[in-house]
Structure 1
Amino acid sequence: MRKQTLIMIGLFVLSFQFMHAQGSPDYSGGLKVKFNEDGSKYLRIISWAQVQANYNTDDTFDANGNENSALNFNLRRARILMFAQINKDFMILTHFGLNSLNSSQLSPTGKGDGSQIFFHDVWAQYNVATNHTVGGGLHYFNGISRLNSQSTLNMMTLDNNRQSWATIGLSDQFARHLGVFAKGSFDKLQYRVAINDAAVSSLDGRVATPGGDAVYNGRATLGSKDAGKTYAGYFDYNFLDQESNFLPYKVGTYLGGKKVFNVGAGFFLHPKGAVIDTGSEIAPVLEGEDVSIFAVDAFYDTPLGDDGSALTAYAVFQSSDYGKDYLFSAYGTGSMLYGHVGYVFKGDLSKTRFQPYVSYGTHSYDAVSDNRNTLGIGVNAYLSGHNSKLTLEYNNQSFGEVDSSIISLQAMIYL
């Protein structure tokens, strides 16, 4: 009994220390249980939650024609991530939780579709050489751009640029594919490449019509032999401080904790991922069209002195081909230009710090003449770095005749 009590006290003290650690993006805290004296064998657990209050400035109505409340609450994310190694040559990671739970998805017994907890990531990896690793499972080693592998722990904006998660729900499960990957570095050049199975199910459940536009459900329509694999890669050159690539999650802002300037390029390929019908209503002829997405981006984060002030800037150009005149939700064949910039005011690192920011994106589509434009203006209040922060953001999106605005306040804590 005394031994168990001492163990519990030790774990409490350890977790208490990590809870009050500096909340930098390089924070390697959480609850770490060491299995040997030097800590090379361990289990680490990290947990975080993001809760939002959203005010919609436009009048909206439910399926019954009733006007919706302008103010709504949302559990944007609730996650637990665990990774462990008992040998430096291999590791296992497990990540589970839920996303965007709101009152319309709550169920009396917590068993509704919206309230389900599911695995985001489960993979095993092996170090095959110094700075080179291979692995497999349900993973987040994505291609295309930095934002396609964005960490949700340290975003600068309220949330990620939606179009940068370019295949979410189309060929993957919530931006994760099931497959194998390799990652590592050659001096200052970091890389990640992957070969994956495409998901059979897709958010795009439309049926290709004769002479019509492409739909993204190639594997379900054409089968796994012709349309079952996807290929992805991302490469970035670290000109200044070297970023960690131990985990796939890309940092949004270092708050001046590093001096980083990276230029990257990436791709995603899904042969015959999309389908068109070149026949007629009487005799349909289904053909696959290759999905190909390419991007180049740049990320800069630097302290501006010894007073705690810092600058973060990011820009990306993405060219997307989902097939002939593809347009579904936020995604479509065309091009995207997106960027954001933020400034951390000077201040004591141990006290609350403020970071105003602005983001802007424009997305053109082959299928229509209108561009989708998004503007975000916000401010972060870091109560304890990224471990405890508040974000207030005004976001406007215009596309064709739709012009909508939302004001959001988000509270996030991660331990």
Structure 2
Amino acid sequence: MKNCLLISTMFLTGIVSAQDSISPKLVEEIQQPQPILENKNLPTFKNSLGELKINIDSSGDKNVKFGFSNQVWFRYLENNPGTAVNGVPQDRTYDAGIRRMRITLNAQLTQAYSIFLQFGINNQSFISGGGTGTGGNGQGKKPQIFFMDAYNELAIVPRVNAETKKPNKNHLYLGAGLHSWSGISRITNASTTKLLTADLPVFHFPNIEVSDQFARQFGIFAHGEFNKLNYRVAVNKPFATNRQPGVGEIVDNNQGGKLSYAGYGMYQFLEKETTATSFLAGTYLGAKKVFNIGAGIYTSADATLAQPEAEVFRSYDNTMIGVDAFLDMPIGKPSKEMAISVYSAFFDYNFGPNYLRTNGIMNPGKKDPNFTGIAAVEGYGNAKYLLGSGQMWFTQAGFVLPKFSHQLKVQPFVSYTLKDLDGLNDLAHFYDVGANLFILSQNAKLAYQYSSRPLFEAESKQLLTRRGEHLFTLQIAL
């Protein structure tokens, strides 16, 4: 931590020194919010905060951009049967925490070369996310800051011509490091500060915190645009896993050290989206007219290991495929500033026979040792079946209500996920419904969401019951 503080201090000192050569006019421009787009027929969201950018030279080719975001969660959870929270049996739990706190830094050293860094914390609640123990060093306190992204990027064909200063029709960038230029789908590359729903469904990150680090892997990547085709490809070294399966189990195990290969492409029928970073918006609130269709893949050889019978082991290749469509545009009279946003994606995952994985976001619960009823196979707290070998379909839709304020906007939304997993004997249906209240465009918003999840019985792998959770989140992002 001391090293991080020393590096930060040295960097900021360098920025302050660099500012000596920046004209007052440039500094003034940094502080002024910029509209989201220039088309006067679409909403401009004049109250948005713009970006925090420091130009190092008069041309603006050398600059540093900063980003800050914080998502605070408050929840009312209906716990799975047999749950104890902090050692006390609880059917329902009030919860608070920080889902995401991020700081990003993008340094454009020349028009051809840049560095992107993102660090922060994720998933700290009142009971989890930090160290171990109780009291002043309790497990919910003092989580460790870590880097999510740290990569270098080289412009082979830049977006803007260096001589004419006009946009190039096509562009191509190469990069290397710890990155999130991922395959499979649009939502696998989602911007967490421009979500339609209050949170992501997470299953679209097939290796989350197993052979990746918060959906990132080390590797080399390329991304760019050819006419209306936007694409990204990567060759990565997955994080090592070495779990050993019991008889009849299949688990993550890539001890053979094979590489992973990923790619995603989308054809942009209407306006083009900006892909200076890997993250794609879940909604533009009608600030763009976008209709894209896309497809992607992730594959890695010998990534899971099964023991079908005693002392017999078999490795399986992992392959995940996704196809999706995204529509976001204004509708109705321009003065009403209404908009629709729809996203739908189909996934086919193959980890090997009957592979299943459970997950509970910021799960506060553990097993109640005195519980004598029927427990769900997923476990305790808010755990659910996240993903597995099989097919999944996800759809979300939102509608920006007619304008009633110069500053505020309201956007109700719904989402639905169908999981047809080989290891379960019933279909799994997941539902979400809620609304966003935008205060400063997407820089400041409040969101409410109710989610309903299915739970399965251990022996039959059939539907046992359902549980829900109420989520209220406050987001500030720049």
**TM-score normalised by the chain length of structure 1:** 0.89
Amino acid at match of 1:45: F
- Percent of aligned positions that are identical: 30
Contact 2:22/2:58 (8 A) holds in 1:
no
Counterpart among 350, 354, 367 of residue 325 in structure 1: 354
Q: Does 1:74 align with 2:97?
A: yes
Q: CA deviation at 1:4?
A: 8.4
The verdict on how the C-alpha distance between 1:349 and 1:166 changes in structure 2, with shifts beyond 3 A counting, is farther
Question: In the alignment, which residue of structure 1 is the partner of 2:53?
Answer: 32
In the alignment, the residues of structure 2 paired with residue 188 and residue 34 of structure 1 have an alpha-carbon distance, to the nearest angstrom, of 30
Structure 2 CA distance for aligned equivalents of residues 302 and 166 of structure 1: 30
Deviation for aligned residue 1:64: 2.7
Secondary structure in structure 2 of the residue aligned to 1:218: coil
User: Does the 8 Å CA contact 2:354/2:389 hold for their aligned counterparts?
Assistant: yes
Provide closer, same or farther for how the CA distance between residues 150 and 331 of structure 1 changes in structure 2, counting only shifts above 3 A.
Answer: same
2:473 maps to which of 402, 410, 414: 410
Q: Is the 8 A contact 2:127 2:140 kept in 1?
A: no
CA contact under 8 A between 1:198 and 1:230: conserved in structure 2? yes
Counterpart Cα distance in 2 of 1:8 and 1:171: 47
How far the C-alpha of 1:251 sits from its partner, in A, is: 0.7
Task: Report the alpha carbon displacement of residue 347 of structure 1 after superposing the two structures with TM.
Answer: 1.2
Counterpart residue identity of residue 200, structure 1: A
- State which of 16, 28, 32 in structure 2 corresponds to 1:17: 32
What does residue range 52-67 of structure 1 map to in structure 2 within 5 Å?
A: 52-58=73-79, 60-62=83-85, 64-67=87-90
Tell me the amino acid that sits aligned with residue 303 of structure 1.
P
Counterpart of 1:85 in structure 2 is 108
User: Counterpart in 2 of 1:160?
Assistant: 200
Match of 1:390 among 436, 446, 454: 446
Q: Tell me, what secondary structure is at the counterpart of 2:102? A: strand
Following superposition, the deviation at residue 68 of structure 1 comes to: 7.0
Structure-1 separation of matches of 2:146 and 2:414: 33
Q: Encode CA deviations 1:306-329: one digit per residue, 9 max, x unaligned.
A: 121000000000000011110121
Residue pair 1:390, 1:411 contacting (<8 A) in 2 also: yes
Between the aligned partners of 2:110 and 2:139, the Cα distance in structure 1 is 38
**CA-CA distance at 1:218 after TM superposition:** 2.2
Superposition deviation, residue 349 in structure 1: 7.3
Q: Is residue 317 of structure 2 the alignment partner of residue 313 of structure 1?
A: no
Which has the larger displacement, 144-153 or 342-351?
342-351
The match for 2:220 is 180
Are the structure 2 counterparts of residues 242 and 402 from structure 1 closer, same or farther at C-alpha, using a change threshold of 3 Å? same
Asked if residue 208 in structure 1 is aligned to residue 245 in structure 2, the reply is: yes
> Structure 1 pair 109/63, CA: closer, same or farther in 2 (3 Å)?
closer
Letter in 1 for 2:339: A
Q: Which residue of 2 aligns with 1:361?
A: 417
The Cα of 1:110 is off from its aligned counterpart by 8.8
- Quick one: structure 1 residues 113 and 72, their matched pair in 2 at CA, closer, same or farther if it must change by over 3 Å? closer
The alpha-carbon deviation at position 67 of structure 1 amounts to 2.6
Q: CA 1:103 to 1:251, structure 2 compared with 1: closer, same or farther past 3 Å? A: same
* Greater displacement, 263-272 / 166-175: 166-175
Say if 1:261 and 1:76 are closer, same or farther in 2 by CA, change over 3 A: same
1:11-410 matches, cutoff 5 A: 16-18=31-33, 29-58=50-79, 60-62=83-85, 64-67=87-90, 70-105=93-128, 108=136, 115-130=143-158, 131-201=171-241, 205=243, 207-210=244-247, 212-219=248-255, 223-224=256-257, 228-278=258-308, 280=310, 284-304=311-331, 305-306=333-334, 307-329=336-358, 330-347=386-403, 350-400=406-456, 401-410=464-473
**Structure 1 position 278, deviation (Å):** 4.9
Measure the CA separation in 1 of the matches of 2:289 and 2:306: 47
How far did 1:253 drift?
Answer: 0.1
Residues 263-297 of structure 1 deviation map (CA, whole Å, 9 limit, x = unaligned) = 000000011111122552xxx24321000000100
Cα 1:4–1:267 change in 2 (3 A) is closer
Separation in 2, partners of 1:350, 1:385: 11
Question: Over residues 156-189 of structure 1, what are the superposed CA-to-partner deviations in whole Å (9 max), with x where a residue is unaligned?
Answer: 1011122112221122101001100011111001
- State the TM-score, normalized to the length of structure 2: 0.78
- Structure 2 unmatched ranges of 5 or more: 1-15, 37-43, 159-170, 359-385, 457-463
Conserved? CA contact 2:22–2:56, under 8 Å: no
> Offset at 1:15?
6.1
Distance change >3 Å, CA 405–CA 338, structure 1 → 2: same
Opposite residue 252 of structure 2, the aligned amino acid is Y
In 2, are the aligned partners of 1:390 and 1:412 still within 8 Å (CA)?
yes
Aligned amino acid, residue 197 of structure 1: K
**What amino acid maps onto 2:157 in structure 1?**
A
Structure 1 residues 47, 392: CA separation in 2 closer, same or farther (over 3 Å shift)? Answer: same
Report the Cα offset of residue 62 of structure 1: 2.5
Secondary structure at 2:251's aligned position in 1? coil
**What CA distance in whole angstroms lies between the structure 1 residues aligned with 2:91 and 2:455?**
22
The whole-number CA distance in structure 2 between the counterparts of 1:383 and 1:268 is 38
Summarize deviations over 1:227-259 as a string: whole Å, max 9, x none: x31110001000000111211001110000000
Structural RMSD (CA): 2.7
Quote the Cα distance in structure 2 between the aligned partners of 1:16 and 1:333. Answer: 50
Q: What is the alpha-carbon distance in structure 1 between the residues aligned to residue 302 and residue 437 of structure 2?
A: 46
Cα distance, 1:371 vs structure 2: 2.2
Q: Secondary structure at the match of 1:148?
A: helix
8 A Cα contact 1:311 1:343, kept in partner: yes
